[in-house]
Amino acid sequence: MKLSLSARVAESFSNKEEASLNLAELIELARNHGYRALCMRASQAGIHSPPEQVADMSRRIGKADLQVSMVTGDFAVPRNDELGPAGLRNIAPYLDLAETFGADLIRICMKKEEDIPWAQKASDIAAERGIRLAHQSHCSSLFETVEGSLQVLERVDRPNFGIIYEPANWMIAGEDYGRETIKRLGPHLFNVYVQNHRLNPQGEGMVRTWNRGPVRLDHIGLWESGGIDFDEVFQGLADVQYRGFVTVHQAFAGIMSVAEAARRSATFLEPWME
């Protein structure tokens, strides 16, 4: 497994459009703490960015001997709102973005049954360019539950369409995220996101779910107790011989120092990496 740092770490939990760090600072963080890739998001560059700017950013990332593990090309996908699936209807700009960054994986969003045929069509177009599409295990989406996720994966039925396994969202939704679930994901497992929360009825944070309504929580570091059982997670990933990226995906801006969080997250995860 290889460690990746998401641009999400420099965004606030509630605002995914503003970044507290620029690309040079993200590159420095990644290089200083053993990350091998950046996960790029629209807060740094997206389909709205001038192509020459994206090309320059790609050159700078490559010069730093880093890869781009995945791209999220707009703000609607991570907001997981009603506009999130729009990219499936016009996937070409997202493919261009991924190609410029040298990435073969794009995060997408699906909210309704009618998004399934669009995901099939977008996957077919992406396959022609050697690019994969993946949906995060995310609350208030077709991937809020394990069973729902597996059903969508089966219905889309494309080898380049898969899932971004992220245990915290399934924990929030009351789902089993452990070894048996990971085993069931099988060949559909394209990427891994890690973040950590502690369920707390009086918590300052809140996530809306379809099945459980609003769920209150505390945002905590990966290394803190009371949240995700990462021993269980990484035993499960070892069981299926997962060799892809593990991306630190937590929003730390406004919670703790992003630099400190990136360092401590890498130190915590390093024993499980290659």
- For residue 202, give the CATH number of its domain: 3.20.20.150
- Across the range 224-231, mean pLDDT stands at 97
Please report which confidence band the pLDDT of residue 12 belongs to, taking 50, 70 and 90 as the band edges.
low
Averaged pLDDT for residues 165-194: 97
- Mean pLDDT, rounded, of the chain: 95
What angle (nearest 5°) sits at the alpha carbon of residue 167, between those of residues 162 and 173? Answer: 100
Across the strands, what pairs with 217? Answer: 199, 205
Query: Whose CA is closest to 137, among 104, 101, 181?
Result: 181
- Answer yes or no: is pLDDT of 98 > 70: yes
pLDDT at 255 over 80: no
Domain extent at residue 162: 2-272
Residue 250 — very low, low, confident or very high, per pLDDT cuts 50/70/90?
confident
Residue 28 confidence (pLDDT) above 80: yes
d(CA 151, CA 93): 28
**Exposed e or buried b per residue across 241-254, where buried means at least 16 C-beta atoms within 10 angstroms of its C-beta:** ebebbbbbbbbbbe
Mean pLDDT of 47-61: 98
Asked whether the predicted pLDDT for residue 254 surpasses 70, the reply is: no
Separation of alpha carbons 138 and 84, rounded Å: 12
What pLDDT does 96 receive? 98
| Total domains present in the chain | 1
Q: Stretch 42-59: mean pLDDT, rounded?
A: 97
- pTM for the structure as a whole: 0.95
